[in-house]
Structure 1
Amino acid sequence: MKTGKATGRAFVRRWLSAVSALALVLGAAQFTFAAQASADVIGTSCSGGAIQIIAHQDDDLLFQSPDILRDVDQGRCVRTVYVTAGDSGYEDDYWQSRESGAEAAWAQAAGVSNSWTTSTISLAGKSVRMRTLKNAPNVSLIFMRLPDGFPLGTGSAAQGYQSLYRLLTGAISKVTAVDGSASYTGPRKGRLMGL
């Protein structure tokens, strides 16, 4: 029984380390382009607010509320980075519907129509898709679309058992977005490197 608990704790520590490393990389990248993104990418300037780096398309509104909703109400910048596609090993229409659902939820939360602009921005040296709410341009969603790792980090057969956990533990040498838009290699000096 002790071995199972130790193994479970070790998994949790490794998983938290992996998520923390990714968060640091993405957070640093966000601060690098934040000022320019406000003016150039979304066509408006906003200040303050928050950036959320989360796994799935429902985690932000479930776990970051009501703080981020207050930021939206006050016109502050709200940026959400969805690390995984939330694909659960299913076909493209599944993860695409999750993205559409996130957009509809954010439009509802902002009290505006569900109308978005699409741009491609550079995040940590990779091109990623960003959606900006037209009538509340202080709200933007960034989709990295990495394969869902499942609770134990094993990944799915549909995505070749790719996961951030397996990447960071060295079980695989790279992980590729479900739409093929970007690939990432394992950690070097405490950060993920682009391929």
Structure 2
Amino acid sequence: MRNMSNRRAVQALAAAAALLAGNAMATEYGTVVSKTAVYSQVAMPVQQCVRQDQISRAQPSGAGALIGALVGGGAGNLIGHGGGRALATGVGVLAGSITGNNVEANGAPTVVTPVQTCHQEQRVENRLVGFDVVYDYNGQRYSTRLASDPGDHVPLNVSVTPANAVVQPAPVAYGGTTVLAPVVVQRPWAAPVGVEVDTGWGWGGHHWR
């Protein structure tokens, strides 16, 4: 039983080798007829910031108000007479304080403070997706989409298989050991071949008859 299983396995391997020998891969080139760049629009968030200078004056220290109050109070005291002297002094202190504070504020140096304001905007960008390529190969016209510009020629993976190629059958189990069933191979004869064209690095192709 073991010898029979080994013999069947050898036959299956021989059939698989014959099948692989019947298939051939070759790299050919198609002639590019036209190519069109394909773009997609993508919205990108962008932060826009503007810097402006804010001009202001320095805050008064209070010295002007104090000096003004003293001057105004003294003047009111001199002007007032009798019972109205106290009132005149108070009015002078108040008026002098306000006047002195304003004088100091107007004479204070200016202060420049940079202020930055920002906001979000949506910017639309065009991004390259690929190239729609139309090419000729072996008298036929095909189309595909490629990730990059192929230039004047596009490389193709061409698979050549005999028309009477043997299809390997499904495995058959014998006594717990899985082997491949024997394959009957037809006598070799000159047969037409089928050609399959694939760019290999695009998003598929389409064949125009």
Give the TM interval when normalised to the shorter protein: under 0.3
Higher strand share: 2
Q: Which has the higher relative contact order, 1 or 2, with Cα contacts under 8 A spaced 6 or more apart?
A: 2
Q: Which protein shows a greater Rg?
A: 2
Higher helix share: 1
